[in-house]
Amino acid sequence: MADHSITELRPYKKPVPLNVRVIRKYTLQWNPKDPKKRYYLLKDGHGNAIEARVETRSKKIDAQVSLYRCYKIDGYVVNPPMSFGKVVSQDTTIVIGDRTVFQHIPELPVPIPKQHFEFALHGALEDRVKKNPVLTGIALDRTSLNVFRIIYSLSDYLCRIESNSAVMKRKDKNLLKMMVTDLSEHTIEITLWEEMAYTYVNVLSPGKVIAVASLKVTRLTVAFVMCHITEKIQLESTPATTIDLELAIEGYAEEIKRLQMLPKRASCQYGYQTERDIRDNITTIADILSGEPVLVNNRRFACIARIKEIQGYRTWYSRKCPHCNDSVRPEEDDMICKHCGTVESTKYAYCVNAVLFDGTATLPVVFFDDAMRQLLGTDCETMVVREGFSDTKQVPGPMIELIGKEKLYSFIYRFNEDSTIQQTLEVQPLTSAPIAVPVTAKETSLPDSVKPTGPAAAPATPAAKNQKKHVRDLEGTDGPSTKKAKDKDE
Ligand SMILES: [Zn+2]
């Protein structure tokens, strides 16, 4: 039997039996006319892919068709492409009905790849977004009714991650943002929405090369500080989006290598959030602890809480090598870095283990250098060297004064699975912004009506005051570029 190609198909013409692999299964909730319908992306042995819409009355076929398996299919209908969210460039689609036959077949002699990409470079995105604010690509198709209709397509993007955020909440939606560079060396922001954010949060990290399929392009108005308004384009996930990591991307070894070799970008930092972001994420410690690990891990939260205890039996600062930032230790009269040898000077960094309490539950946390510096208004070196608090296990007075004061703490929650003690949840108040908030009431859950501009309680420190002002300055911006570089203290 001849191995037919997807390119032989013509709308409204007889189908041919096709040997295909099912390389994607998805729904398109965002298509208002088609909320729950199932779609497959099918790929043949000639390198072509086609979208198939499932219109069966029973769920039998969908249940029987497995992702990545190969089938010989026949008895389907060939249609023009969909008018919304075209996933591949093919100008036909397949409609699967009750009479369609999916016959499972073994792998072909030359296996069909499990992926299909039609990568776009940054320049192509800009050109397309002008024509349509929502989706990439636009083409006119003359239908049988002799009416022109618009066909949109989604973009695949091969890129290197420069930085990525944790899962955040904006309005009622969960999202994750990352800054990526493509082969044309342009950077662009990709937003992963809802379950897509949770699916990938633990595998994304700066430096990784990824292939992201079926993204839409949107234009975003960005207000920078100083009222400078600009527009930028960004990419967003759709329900058809998939992400493949570099080791799993077939056939692009050369491109992947080039991406890996590109000079590192000055990456934006997602540790910072606007005050609005933080307020959208306010919750209680009890709610976080009772959440499904997969839903709360790596996600940013904020709580109105007090420091209940600072664990003085653990060291509250460390000294680091100025060359490699690893910790140093005394060796007779010298300070030794295990990589760099004797170091002439060392950096001091806060690393304070504490317990937060918000009336609902307690939470062990670690204040890294940035966070503690902002709370105290004093950097670690000043505290140790000038003010003479040099004993690593003697908590300084100014730090003890922080205990019991109610503040809004924002942090990324990290669930430590390796820990044998359930309570040792590793929580890092990473944000640069422990900000003083109006002390209204000791409610366990704070109403949305808490106004950032309300009568503020006196900030605990000058730094907190400055921080609050800084946050307000940035309110309404969405720009990761506004975030100052931040220590990544371990
Ligand atoms: Zn070193």
Q: pLDDT per residue over 259-269, tens digit each? A: 999 887 755 55
Query: 396 alpha carbon to ligand 1 midpoint, in Å?
Result: 27
Res. 129: pLDDT tops 70: no
Least confident of 92-106, 212-226, 256-270, 429-443: 429-443
- What is the pLDDT averaged over residues 72-76? 95
Least confident of 94-103, 267-276, 310-319: 267-276
Sheet holding 49-54, edge to edge: 77-79, 93-96, 49-54, 38-44, 18-27, 70-74, 101-105
473 vs 102 pLDDT, higher one: 102
Structural domains of the chain sorted by starting position, each given as residue range(s) with its CATH number in brackets: 6-105 (2.40.50.140), 155-261 (2.40.50.140), 275-482 (2.40.50.140)
Q: pLDDT per residue over 333-383, tens digit each? A: 888 998 889 998 889 998 888 888 999 998 888 888 878 888 888 999 999
Q: pLDDT per residue over 284-321, tens digit each? A: 888 888 877 767 776 777 788 889 999 888 889 999 99
397 vs 276 pLDDT, higher one: 397
| pLDDT (0 to 100) of residue 83 | 62
Report percent pLDDT > 70 for the chain.
69
| The two three-digit tokens of residue 379, written as one number | 């950097």
| pLDDT (0 to 100) of residue 7 | 93
Band of pLDDT at residue 96, cut at 50, 70 and 90: very high
Res. 229: pLDDT tops 80: no
Query: 214 alpha carbon to ligand 1 midpoint, in Å?
Result: 44
- What is the pLDDT averaged over residues 409-435? 51
Query: 369 alpha carbon to ligand 1 midpoint, in Å?
Result: 18
- What is the pLDDT averaged over residues 103-122? 87
Band of pLDDT at residue 403, cut at 50, 70 and 90: very high
Output the average pLDDT for the chain. 74
| pLDDT (0 to 100) of residue 232 | 72
| Cα first-last separation, the chain | 61
- How far is Cα 464 from Cα 462, in angstroms, rounded to an integer? 5
| pLDDT (0 to 100) of residue 120 | 84
Query: 320 alpha carbon to ligand 1 midpoint, in Å?
Result: 8
Query: 163 alpha carbon to ligand 1 midpoint, in Å?
Result: 24
Query: 161 alpha carbon to ligand 1 midpoint, in Å?
Result: 27
Query: 324 alpha carbon to ligand 1 midpoint, in Å?
Result: 4
| pLDDT (0 to 100) of residue 191 | 93
Res. 389: pLDDT tops 90: yes
Query: 316 alpha carbon to ligand 1 midpoint, in Å?
Result: 21
238 vs 150 pLDDT, higher one: 238
Res. 384: pLDDT tops 90: yes
- How far is Cα 363 from Cα 311, in angstroms, rounded to an integer? 13
- What is the pLDDT averaged over residues 22-37? 69
Query: 339 alpha carbon to ligand 1 midpoint, in Å?
Result: 5
| pLDDT (0 to 100) of residue 216 | 83
| pLDDT (0 to 100) of residue 22 | 95
**HEC secondary structure over the chain:** CCCCCHHHCCCCCCCCCEEEEEEEEEECCCCCCCCCCEEEEEEECCCCEEEEEECCCCCHHHHHCCCCCEEEEECCEEECCCCCCECCCCCCEEEECCCCEEEEECCCCCCCCCCCCCECCHHHHHHHHCCCCCCCCEEEEECCCCCEEEEEECEEEEEEEEEECCEEEECCEEEEEEEEECCCCCEEEEEEECHHHHHHCCCCCCCCEEEEEEEEEEEEEEECHHHCEEEEEEEEEEEEEEEEEHHHCCCCHHHHHHHHHCCCCCCCCCCCCCHHHHHHCECCHHHHHCCCHHHHCCEEEEEEEEEEEECCCCCCEEEECCCCCCEEEEECCEEEECCCEEECCCEEEEEEEEEEECCCCEEEEEEEHHHHHHHHCCCHHHHHHHCCCCCCCCCCHHHHCCECCCEEEEEEEECCCCCCCCCCCEEECCCCCCECCCCCCCCCCCCCCCCCCCCCCCCCCHHHHHHHHHHHHHCCCCCHHHCCCCCCCC
Query: 323 alpha carbon to ligand 1 midpoint, in Å?
Result: 5
Query: 142 alpha carbon to ligand 1 midpoint, in Å?
Result: 66
Beta bridge partners, 141, equal 149
Query: 485 alpha carbon to ligand 1 midpoint, in Å?
Result: 21
Query: 15 alpha carbon to ligand 1 midpoint, in Å?
Result: 66
